Each structure stands twice: as C-alpha cells, then as structure tokens.
C-alpha cells in the first residue's frame, strides 16, 4: 500500500486548488478522478467571471492550467480510475482503485463535484446523440430549421434556449412548474420569442422514436393526463446532481439530496475527511467558490499534518 | 485545428493507412466543444493504459471527416463527437455524443478484448 500525506478525490477546481496548496506545502498529494482532470470547467465553453482573466478563457484551457500548476508542484494524478473500495472511518484511511492498487493516508479531501442531472426515463440513454442532446453549443446546428423540445426552466435551460433559437424553427419547452426558475432577464428573452411555446406543469415520462421523429411522452402534473409530442429532437437541461454515490456506504454525513455536510473549515463528520467544491452542501456553486473551498480544506490539512 | 494532445488525423489517406496497419483503432471526430473535450482527454489517458490501441482525434469540419460522417454506423448521429472503433479495418462500434471514462472502458473491453 502506497502512502500519501493527503488524498484528494476529484480533479475539478476544488480538488486541484487543494492539491496546489498541499503540494506547495511539500505534502505528498494524490488526486484521483473517475474521469479526466477539470471537472465541469472543462466542459464550459468560456469562463468570463474568473478573476485574473480580462478576456474570457476557454474552460478546457483554465482546467488544463490548474492541472499543470498542481503537477508542477509535485501532485500525482490517477485519472479515469474507479474507486472500488474506500475506508474512511479510522485514522488510517485508504482508497482502492480499479480492484487493484490501494493508497493510504490520514487526510482525505472529497471534491467530486456534481454532474448534469439525467432524467432517467426510458429512451433517454438509448437516443443520446441521435435525437437526445445535452449541449446546444455542440449540437444546435444538427437541428437547423427543425422543431425541438427542450426540458428545463432554470438558468442553463434558458441560456441554451437562446443559442438554440438562432438555429431551430421552434422550441417547445417542457417545465415542471408554472413559472420559470431562470433569471428574469434571460427568461423574458426566451418567452418573448415567437418561436417558443411552453408546456407548463408537465414532466417527460418517456422518449421514443416514430419514423424520423423523436416522441416525448409528457405527463400533466395537475391532471395526470399524458400527451405525446413528435419533434425532431430533444434537449435536456434539468440541473445538477452531486457525485456522492460512492459515499453512501461510508459514514460521511450527506443531506437528503446527497450533498456532503461540512463546517466552515470544510470538515465533515469524520475526523480527517474534508469536502470542498460543488459536492458540499451550500447556497452557491461557482468556480471561484470551489477554489476557495479547496484552499480552506488544504490549509486545514496542512495545519494538522 | 483541435487543441488536444492526441495525434490528429488530417486526411482520408491517413485514416485509411491507420486502420489498415493497426488491429485496434479508436477515432474521436469532433470539435473543441464541451461534449468532445472530455472524450479526447479520456483517450489521452487511455493511450498509456492500452498501448495496443491507436487513439486519434479528427476535426469534424475538415473534408476528411466525411469518411466518418458517411459511415452507415454514424448516419443517424446528431450529437458530437462521433467516436468510431475499428478492429482489423472494420467498424466494430460507433457512439455519438459524450462518453464517460467508464463507458469508453467498457466499449474497449468489449470490442478489443
């Protein structure tokens, strides 16, 4: 079993910020991620609100710089690996990767962030990329002059709608509430567009294909009646879910939505286990806040080692 | 031009030569977009893990990409990137849109085992 001063689970901004600090403090630092480094930032087209960059920076570039900075100070990374066992309750903690190697430490920082929420309904996975999309920037041009359905009513749904409106013939928005949750200025731009039609208080229950059309089966949440809409494609933007499934078999305390509960020092209920970034139960989720969380967690660890 | 650390395929001849001369080839054809970059990154990591597989990327907007876009396996794709796995010169799997490391690993273990 290989030993590290600190193991950070998650290579997004929170995890990499923590790694930069702990590595610079000459703590041996291992960062683990089930995907590549960068978290959600790497899938963000442009970041315009990260201090220090006068012009917007591409998300993948910012993420790449964070990774390089952490590696420059000696952080080791294990990427695209699965955590197959995790022991956090004792002073000596360990992580097993890909059913093979085990790594031990006294300090763990959980920084696994969150991911776009899937609907988990029939047809969603089956038609991903051939009728179901999660990215307007990537796939809007496939739907030029087409009729689409968009699921969601938050900020990302409305921002993506604005981009889609430059391409598509019409958008039918399906939203579970009677009002949109997005900022009014963006929501108004969408709702005032004559190409937009909104189906309030509905939720999709299934997607399937009929000839060349994608069909959405949606339920009216008030009357429970189901309707079917045939369109050329479906875009889904229904928020985020915390990447905390791997913690459910550990004693780490989670909220009912799966976020990790911490104190202001980023300590969880388990001694030596910290959480930082979007995985943490808090009001706001931004790159800058994730970096701040990671920094606090790292300074606490550095103080205790 | 794609800004990944993978070797880029820039012509039809290059793609043809690659799949003719290598048993296991994976090509990710996309842009520098949010759904494509994670797949390039995963390919980059897997290059070390699976040295017997040739991992490449290809710009979706170059003329040579027509070879990928025209594959029968990709005809119904409406989401970037298009990722195609070749074994002994034949397409053994093709996916559309983002794939996680777990999904790519599962495909590799399935089609290249």
The dihedral built from the CA positions of residue A218, A222, A224 and A226, taken in this order, carries a sign that is: negative
pLDDT number for residue A57: 93
A247 and A231 co-located in one domain = no
Q: Are B59 and B2 in contact (CB under 8 A)?
A: yes
pTM of the model: 0.88
Q: Which residue of A has its CA nearest to B95?
A: A129
Instruction: Examine residue A145 and state whether it is found in any structural domain, yes or no.
Output: yes
C-alpha distances in Å from residue B82, one per residue of A82, A118, B39? 25, 21, 10
Percentage, residues of chain A above pLDDT 90: 90
Q: Which CATH number fits domain B7-103: 1.10.230.10, 3.40.50.410, 3.20.20.80, 3.40.30.10?
A: 3.40.30.10
Final residue in a domain of this structure, among A220, A236, A252: A236
Find the chain A residues whose C-beta atoms sit closer than 8 A to any C-beta of B: 34-38, 42-45, 58-60, 79-80, 82, 128-135, 137-139, 142-143, 233
Q: In the prediction, which pLDDT does A212 show? A: 86
- The answer, yes or no, to whether residue A193 has pLDDT greater than 90, is yes
Is residue B98 within 8 A of residue B112, CB to CB? The reply is no
| Domain extent for A193 | 132-236
Strands (DSSP E) contained in A177-236 are: 196-199, 202-210, 213-220, 226-231, 233-236
B41: closest chain A residue by CA:
A36
Per-residue confidence (pLDDT) for residue A46, from 0 to 100: 80
Q: Which residue of chain B is at minimal alpha-carbon distance from A213?
A: B76
User: pLDDT, tens digit, for every residue of B80-102?
Assistant: 999 999 999 999 999 999 999 99
Instruction: Quickly state the pLDDT bin for A233 (edges 50, 70, 90).
Output: very high
Q: Identify any residues that bridge with A231 across adjacent strands, giving them in sequence order.
A: A214
Spatial CB neighbours of A96, under 8 Å, sequence gap ≥ 6: A83, A84, A85, A86, A102
**What is the pLDDT averaged over residues A136-146?**
93
Cβ-based burial of A68 (10 A; exposed 0-12, middle 13-18, buried ≥19): exposed
Asked if B38 lies within 8 A of A36 by C-beta distance, the reply is: yes
| Same domain, yes or no: A225 and A245 | no
Q: Which of A37, A223, A218 is nearest to A112 (CA)?
A: A37
Asked whether residue A158 falls in the same domain as residue A52, the answer is no
3-class DSSP state for residue A163? helix
CA distance linking residue A37 with residue A67, whole number of Å? 7
Q: Distance of CA A264 to CAs A14, A281, A294, Å?
A: 15, 11, 12
Secondary structure element (H or E) that encloses residue B21, with its range: helix B12-21
Which H or E run contains B69? helix B66-69
Mean model confidence pLDDT for chain A: 95
pLDDT tens, position by position, B63-81: 999 999 999 999 989 999 9
Do A139 and A199 share a domain, yes or no? yes
Residue B76 C-alpha, separation from nearest chain A C-alpha, in angstroms: 6
The reply to whether omega before B81 is within 30° of 0 (cis) is yes
Residue A127 lies in a domain: no
Q: Are residues A138 and A217 in the same domain?
A: yes
Which pLDDT value is given to residue B17? 97
Give contacts of A38 with chain B, Cβ < 8 Å.
41
Average pLDDT over residues A18-24: 98
Give the integer Cα–Cα distance in Å for A179 and A13: 33
Q: What is the distance between the alpha carbons of residues B28 and B7, in angstroms, rounded to a whole number?
A: 11
Could you give the number of structural domains in chain A? 2
A27 domain residue, yes or no: yes
Q: Per-residue pLDDT for A147 more than 80?
A: yes
Label residue A45 by pLDDT band (50, 70, 90). Answer: confident
Q: How far apart are the first and last CA of chain A?
A: 20
Q: Where are the alpha helices (DSSP H) in chain A?
A: 13-24, 59-72, 136-139, 155-164, 184-191, 287-304
Same domain, yes or no, for A155 and A294? no
Which of A212, A236, A260 marks a domain boundary?
A236
Both tokens assigned to B63: 């003329």
**A contact test, residue of B3, B31, B37 with most A CBs within 10 A:** B37
**Pair A196, A106 in one domain:** no
| Residue A34 pLDDT grade (very low, low, confident, very high; cuts 50, 70, 90) | very high
Query: What pLDDT, on a 0 to 100 scale, did the predictor assign at position A107?
Result: 98
What is the CATH number for A49?
3.50.50.60
Spell out which residues of chain B touch residue A43, defining contact as CB-CB under 8 Å: 34-35, 37-38, 98
Tell whether A253 and A209 lie within a shared domain. no
**CA dist., res. A197 & res. B38, Å (int):** 33
For A77, nearest residue in chain B (alpha carbons): B45
Last residue of some domain: A210, A236, A262? A236
Per-residue pLDDT at B34 = 86
Structure tokens at B25: 């080839």
| φ and ψ of A106, to 5 deg | -100, -10
Q: For residue B3, list chain A residues with Cβ-Cβ distance below 8 A.
A: 60
A54/A66 same-domain check: yes
- The pLDDT value recorded for residue A43 is 82
- Name the residue among A38, A131, A137 with its Cβ closest to that of B78: A131
- A224 CA to chain B: closest CA distance, Å? 32
pLDDT digits (tens, 9 = 90+) for B8-52: 999 999 999 999 999 999 999 999 988 999 999 999 999 999 999
A41: its two tokens: 């930032």
- Among the partner residues A58, A79, A130, nearest to B76 by beta-carbon distance: A130
CA distance A171 to A186: 15
Separation between Cα atoms, residue B96 and residue A206, nearest integer Å: 20
Note whether A138 contacts B32, CB cutoff 8 Å: no
Q: How confident is the model at residue B59 (pLDDT cuts 50, 70, 90)?
A: very high
Q: Output the six-digit token pair for A36.
A: 């590549």
A280 and A197 in one domain? no
**Is residue A125 one of the residues assigned to a domain?**
no
The reply to whether A92 falls in a domain is yes
Give yes or no: residues A250 and A208 share one domain.
Answer: no
Which structure tokens are listed for A116? 């776009």
Q: Give the list of residues 6+ apart from residue A260 with CB closer than 8 angstroms, or none.
A: A110, A242, A244, A247, A252, A253, A254, A268, A275, A279, A280, A281
Cα A109 from Cα A217, distance rounded (Å): 42
How is chain B split into domains, by residue range?
Answer: 7-103
Does pLDDT of A44 surpass 90? Answer: no
A248 inside domain: yes
* β pairing state of B24-30 and B82-87: antiparallel
pLDDT, residue A48, reads 84
Residue A116 has pLDDT above 90, yes or no: no
A vs B: CB pairs below 8 A: 91
A253 in the same domain as A179: no
Burial of A160 (0-12, 13-18, 19+ CB in 10 A): buried
Tokens of A127: 């038609």
């Amino acid at each position: 079993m290989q030993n590290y001063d600190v193991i950070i689970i998650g290579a997004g901004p929170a995890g990499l910020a923590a790694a930069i600090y702990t590595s610079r403090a000459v703590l041996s630092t291992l960062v683990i991620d089930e995907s590549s480094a960068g978290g959600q930032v790497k899938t963000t087209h442009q970041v315009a609100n990260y201090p220090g960059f006068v012009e917007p920076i591409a998300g993948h570039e910012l993420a790449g710089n964070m990774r390089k900075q952490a590696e420059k100070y000696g952080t080791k990374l294990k990427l695209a690996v699965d955590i197959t066992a995790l022991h956090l309750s004792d002073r000596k903690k360990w992580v097993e990767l890909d059913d093979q190697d085990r790594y031990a430490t006294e300090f763990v920082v959980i920084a696994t962030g969150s991911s776009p929420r899937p609907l988990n309904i029939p047809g969603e996975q089956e038609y991903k990329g051939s009728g179901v999309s999660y990215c307007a920037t990537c796939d809007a041009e496939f739907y030029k002059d087409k009729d689409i359905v968009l699921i969601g009513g938050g900020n990302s749904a409305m921002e993506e709608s604005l981009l889609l409106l430059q391409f598509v013939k019409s958008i039918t928005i399906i939203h579970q509430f009677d009002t949109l949750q997005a900022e009014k200025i963006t929501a108004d731009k969408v709702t005032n567009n004559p190409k937009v039609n909104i189906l309030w208080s509905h939720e999709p229950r299934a997607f399937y294909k009929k000839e060349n059309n994608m069909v959405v089966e949606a339920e009216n949440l008030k009357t429970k009646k189901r309707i079917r809409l045939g369109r050329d494609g479906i875009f889904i933007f229904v928020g985020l879910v915390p990447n905390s499934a791997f913690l459910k078999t550990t004693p780490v305390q989670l909220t009912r939505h799966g976020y990790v509960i911490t104190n202001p020092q980023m300590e969880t209920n388990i001694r030596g286990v910290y959480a930082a970034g979007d995985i943490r139960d808090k009001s706001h989720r931004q790159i800058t806040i994730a970096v701040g969380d990671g920094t606090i967690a790292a300074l606490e660890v550095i103080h205790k080692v | 031009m794609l800004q990944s650390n993978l070797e880029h395929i820039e012509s039809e001849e290059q793609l043809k030569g690659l799949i003719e001369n290598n048993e296991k080839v994976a090509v990710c054809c996309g842009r520098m977009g949010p759904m494509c970059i994670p797949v390039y990154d995963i390919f980059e990591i897997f290059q070390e893990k699976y040295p017997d597989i040739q991992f490449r990327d290809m710009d979706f907007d170059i003329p040579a990409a027509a070879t990928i876009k025209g594959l029968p396996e990709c005809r119904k794709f409406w989401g970037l990137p298009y990722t195609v796995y070749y074994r002994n010169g034949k397409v053994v799997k093709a996916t559309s849109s983002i794939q996680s490391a777990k999904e790519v690993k599962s495909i590799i273990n399935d089609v290249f085992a």
